[in-house]
Structure 1
Amino acid sequence: MIWLTWRQHRVQFLSGAVVLAVLALAAYLTRMQITDFSRDSGLTSCLASGGDCVTIAHSFDQRFTGWLNTARFLIVLPLLIGFFWGAPLVAREFEQNTHRLVWNQTIGRARWLSIKLGIMILATALIAGVTSLLLAWWFKPFQDATALGRVTPDAFDLVGIAPIGYALFAVSLGVAAGAVLGRSLLAMGVTLIGFVTVRFAVSGLRVHFMPTLSTTYPVGGTGTKTTDKAWVISRGYVDGQGDRVSLTAADRLCRRTAADYEGTLRCLRERGFKHLDKYHPDNHFWSLQAVETAVFSGLAVLLFAFTIYWIMRRFG
């Protein structure tokens, strides 16, 4: 049965291996250029010495931001796995009636399902995990040189263990949709709508997975070291009594008496205002990752269980 599953889905598995190899090669070649620039421009030595590296870091940012924005498109990789691995896994068997041939041999439905799902789960976790490690390695120079932190949404969705949860959920959704609908294309459509909807919903709730921290600093200041590499959730002001005031309300209060931006800042300082940032620090990364991975992995388990129940009941 393992050999049969490989024969049936070898194109998908080999395509995934090729994509992973291409990503690894691209990551290696581009990271070489990034590290060479950091070394030759003096950015590496500047960061190591703790000096003022703003000018060099700005040049780094201007040169490589395009690559960073391109890498962010890899957020769709779990969805593609759900499309091309999950949706056809069972649906194609039903479309071609090959499942009946297998069940008429010595292999029953339970063994057929367990082997197919087991191989798919292992392959999905492997490719998602390797891709996550590869991207974490590739992102490291950006994290050193810029404000990009792994807890910020731009990086969070691509590194750590959460991408494994995303991929397992996408595959399980595709498999379940294929089992119910019996058509690969229809299952792909359901996978697209369901995956995007759940991903957006959970990402919107991520900020509440752990209590946020707060920090204050003088008006006109550049912030504190506590928010370096952090995911800043909101910015505002607090007045002299410690009550929170929105940016709009504070600026409106001083705009009537201030002639320019500097005058506004001076007015806010005189009234005892301070900046207030609410944020998730970098050390919340693994806790947030654990919660989100548990959510998507739990949904994947439920969908796989539903698939087994549906097929056993439908053909019972």
Structure 2
Amino acid sequence: MSAPTLHRPSGPSPYRPPRPAPYRPTGLTWTVLRLHRTALYVWGAALLTVVAALVWMHAIGPDARAVTGGCDASDPFPMDCGIIQETEAHKIYAYGLALVSACVTFQMYAVAVWAGAALTGRELESGTARLAWTQSVTPARWLATRLAVPAVLLTVGTTLAVLLGDWARRAGNEELFGGWFNTNVFISSGPAAVAYALAGLALGALAGLVLRRALPAAAAALAAVYVLHEVLDGFRMSLWPAETATGRAALRLPHGTLVLEHGAVTGSGERLSNNMACVGTDSAAALEKCVRGTGLTDFWTTYHPESHFWPLQLMESGLLLAVTGLAAAAAFALLRRQHS
């Protein structure tokens, strides 16, 4: 007895719809991310390193605080108090925060060099930009995307680093990472850090459009942000009016104050700058004795209290954003002129 055979029905095979193709992101944003993925990976790794370091600093902050002494709120010389004993936790906390603050402060240099060399300069030099313009992408849209994508990433990442840095500093002792007016601490503690990064991006992109070659654009962008950084660093404390104290108040300033100038007045009315006589006297009797011995009649001090941190931050951030806007506007104007 033979086994039954299976007969396939004759005629056309039933219709099978094709499998949908896997989704692949498209558009200018995806093009920018894919074209500059190496820089994206490096920046992402650096950001993750900074985040991990700040979380660690926060964890060891109480141990670092435990080995430092407190300062008298009226001590005019905060550096004379504080450290009682140095331990491994203190070293790691102080050096770790200093390193992270420097990285956040000086990231504008790396951003400017990359923007000048790769974001615009190399694409113009190699013809990649011109190829994009032939595919229904206008030069203005091409530049807008190349500025907007890294600007968003830099804003989010730098803001995260600033917030985590403040979180880590509150866990420890401020005597371990310098005063609020220290350059690296000041920039890395507020919106100025974001503004510096955006200014570096805009200046670098402008340099690339002007020179249209990667290496010269990188050098020009580096020089531009160096000048900007040094100028603002030199005039930072002039961006907001300082306060002046006279008499005994000039000798016992609050802790955390940045003294700009201190002087005394003689019996003849002459003002002596940088005269530190009688500073730190503990009582009215001690002050009277000091005044009799020096022949001085009054004292004055020009200073920035710690409460000036935010006005100075906002003023510097505003100037940097103005520079960013001017550089971006110049870049668009130059591109429109070149292709009009």
Q: Greater CA radius of gyration, 1 or 2? A: 2
Query: Which residues of 2 match residues 199-278 of structure 1 at below 5 A?
Result: 199-216=229-246, 223-225=252-254, 228-239=255-266, 244-247=271-274, 266=290, 269-278=293-302
Q: TM-score, normalised by structure 2?
A: 0.75
Report if aligned partners of 2:209, 2:331 keep a CA contact under 8 Å in 1: yes
Residue 184 of structure 1 corresponds to 214
Structure 1, unaligned stretches of length 5 or more?
252-261
Q: Which amino acid aligns with 2:161?
A: T
- Give the length in aligned residue pairs: 295
Mapped to 2, the partners of 1:196 and 1:215 lie a distance apart of 35
Report if aligned partners of 2:203, 2:221 keep a CA contact under 8 Å in 1: yes
> Aligned Cα RMSD in Å?
3.4
Residue 126 of structure 1 corresponds to 156
Structure 2, unaligned stretches of length 5 or more?
1-27, 278-285
Once the two structures are TM-superposed, the CA of residue 199 in structure 1 deviates from its matched residue by 1.4
Q: Which one of 83, 91, 95 corresponds to residue 58 of structure 1?
A: 83
Once the two structures are TM-superposed, the CA of residue 196 in structure 1 deviates from its matched residue by 1.1
Q: Which amino acid aligns with 2:99?
A: T
Once the two structures are TM-superposed, the CA of residue 292 in structure 1 deviates from its matched residue by 0.7
Give a deviation string over 1:89-136, Cα, whole Å, max 9, x none.
111211221112211112222222222221122122222222222222
Structure number with the higher helix fraction is 1
Q: Secondary structure at the match of 1:236?
A: strand
Residue 82 of structure 1 corresponds to 112
Q: Secondary structure at the match of 1:197?
A: helix
Report if aligned partners of 2:121, 2:211 keep a CA contact under 8 Å in 1: yes
Q: Which moved more, 1:52-61 or 1:169-178?
A: 52-61
Mapped to 1, the partners of 2:57 and 2:177 lie a distance apart of 20
Q: Which amino acid aligns with 1:187?
A: A
Q: Secondary structure at the match of 1:23?
A: helix
Q: Secondary structure at the match of 1:232?
A: strand
Mapped to 2, the partners of 1:281 and 1:135 lie a distance apart of 22
Name the CA shift for 1:275/1:290 in 2 (closer, same or farther; >3 Å).
Answer: same
Residue 314 of structure 2 corresponds to 290
Q: Which amino acid aligns with 2:160?
A: V
Mapped to 2, the partners of 1:268 and 1:70 lie a distance apart of 48
Residue 98 of structure 1 corresponds to 128
Q: Secondary structure at the match of 1:58?
A: coil
Q: Secondary structure at the match of 2:84?
A: helix
- Determine if the alignment matches structure 1 residue 29 to structure 2 residue 29: no
Q: Secondary structure at the match of 2:245?
A: strand
The alignment-based identity, stated in percent, is 23
Q: Which one of 293, 311, 314 corresponds to residue 335 of structure 2?
A: 311
Report if aligned partners of 1:60, 1:145 keep a CA contact under 8 Å in 2: no
Mapped to 2, the partners of 1:85 and 1:213 lie a distance apart of 41
Name the CA shift for 1:291/1:61 in 2 (closer, same or farther; >3 Å).
Answer: farther
Report if aligned partners of 1:12, 1:85 keep a CA contact under 8 Å in 2: no
Q: Which moved more, 1:127-136 or 1:91-100?
A: 127-136
Mapped to 2, the partners of 1:205 and 1:42 lie a distance apart of 33
Q: Which amino acid aligns with 1:70?
A: L
Q: Which amino acid aligns with 2:321?
A: S
Q: TM-score, normalised by structure 1?
A: 0.80
